[in-house]
Structure 1
């Protein structure tokens, strides 16, 4: 790590020295890495640094390499930096504090509070029902906090699969009926009366858990932006349950989400109207993500009987 980056971190944390620890992960398509740094001489034993370095040649696991793809990723890191520097949540939708940030040429640096140190040190590859509810509670309080807030400095429409940012994947679709309806589905979702700020990539891997699984915090805000909160809910449920589980449990989890959301929104909000609208968007949000998957990776495991069923319901609605 460059000395100037080390100096920035030392100054931001009031530390006397630092040591580069383990790499937590490599960023998508080789755009850098996330590492843990151990500190001495301050009250923080460690920080997590997201170090972005734009590659000269990009590598995508599904071979989606293009200038458009690259510029979307560049913008996503700019958005994430802006988010961490300018937006703040509360303990019911915990995120890591941003301690410093720097953008210089083809590199970006975001210095974050180490969530492991403050009790969110568990990661999950599968979830029990109580942990699913904990994540849905996080989403509900996040959406409630930002209900009606304009996404200044963020993506105008959040989520990494938003139609306007994915024309290549749309063009690649073989499902011509869904392809033709993609614009209408997007307009329905974008036309919601009740809008909030969505996480945009609320998958299981982006949640950090407490020891008992009841407390959660979220990371990775590259695709945070405006929109209908139910899109986060749909994407999260898809990330931690297969089609059969969704058939059995999705609607009961949806009930739990709305119970939590009601406690999170301001009293003057017409919650009945909000809930009615967002419940109607549930199938539309699922069909919207299905559209992306069918263009991006048509063999993906998330394309299943349940997702196809909801997509069919939407297409039938649009036919009138």
Structure 2
């Protein structure tokens, strides 16, 4: 990739100007982007207050290599749109300290390339990553989500995905077609419509998995990254996706009720006082199983052997299908 080799002069000048730096040095690659669409790299700066920044460099490949074989024109167009949405998000939306995100310093696009220059969260004190978590870390992420959802409650997702999340049914017809579970396949549209008809909508992160949260040293404060699939919808979509990303079926059965209570306690503390919170909570609790089953539907078509297709998910899907038959 360009950044980890010799950086384009135009990129170098753009970054130096945006950061007020005199020079920069390309550091380590943090990660490659999904399907070979680019990379995330840390840059070290001289002559300014910031010791470093993080660059998200997108370069659309001539032939994408999807890790599980979903390299189609539809998949490519969805990814292109996702990076456009993410750039718009960082340039036009902001959050507070209770739902911390990296500051966007500048961004540009040219042809088949895009560049987003972001605050380095490691340098800001969010330098911890987790692959497994304890309750206090789960609660820190749920608190972030609650504050995020409260901040954007009833805010129109202008410039974002009209319906957030990367597994949204309308954008995943290929995966739906590939499903073997005919019963769930038949009601997938009903589940999608029910979620989209929610009275209480917010902006959802859209990919709120554990890997997209950066923890402080105390592990009690978090910041979130990766806003490619940010858009409108029911807040439960983020909650179920996050919980499913860090707990197995036994942990879900044991801990989800208490963790949901904690999320709504946090949400109540930060929504505007003129919101009918009892009605919001009632609606979103009813949507919990629908949101979980919606993601379960995606997995069944996308990767039928995925570890998240477990007893807990299957039980919730049964409950939803039973409700739809009533």
Aligned partner of 1:6 among 9, 12, 15: 12
Spell out structure 1 runs of 4+ moving beyond 2 A.
none
Instruction: Please state if 1:142 is matched with 2:137.
Output: no
Deviations 1:142-181 (A, max 9, x none): 0000000000000000000000000000000000000000
- Cα deviation, 1:124-156, whole Å, max 9, x if unaligned, reads 000010000000000000000000000000000
What's 1:221 paired with? 227
1:195 lines up with 2:196 in the alignment: no
Q: Deviations over 1:13-55 (max 9, x none)?
A: 0000000000000000000000000000000000000000000
| Equivalent position of 2:73 in the other structure | 67
Whether 1:249 aligns to 2:239 is no
Which residue in 2 is equivalent to 1:212? 218
Question: Which SS does the other structure have where 1:101 is aligned?
Answer: strand
Partner of 1:259: 265
What is the TM-score of this pair, normalised by structure 2?
A: 0.98
Displacement of 1:261 in angstroms is 0.3
SS at match of 1:135: helix
Correspondence for 1:34 among 30, 40, 48: 40
Whole-Å Cα distance in 1 between the matches of residues 84 and 75 of structure 2?
15
Structure 1 CA distance for aligned equivalents of residues 143 and 29 of structure 2: 30
Kindly tell me the number of residue pairs found equivalent between the two proteins. Answer: 320
Aligned to 1:233: 239
Q: Does residue 289 of structure 1 match 2:285?
A: no
Gaps of 5+ in 1: none
In angstroms, what is the RMSD of aligned CA positions?
0.3
Offset of residue 264 of structure 1: 1.2
- 1:167 maps to 2:173: yes
Question: What residue in structure 2 maps to residue 306 of structure 1?
Answer: 312
Match of 1:127 in 2: 133
In the alignment, is residue 177 of structure 1 matched against residue 167 of structure 2? Answer: no
Inter-partner Cα distance in structure 2 for 1:2 and 1:71: 26
For 2:203 and 2:84, how far apart are their aligned partners in 1?
Answer: 17
The 1-side partners of 2:39 and 2:237 are apart by: 28
Choose which of 59, 63, 77 in structure 2 pairs with 1:53.
59
What is the distance in 2 between the residues matched to 1:264 and 1:160?
27
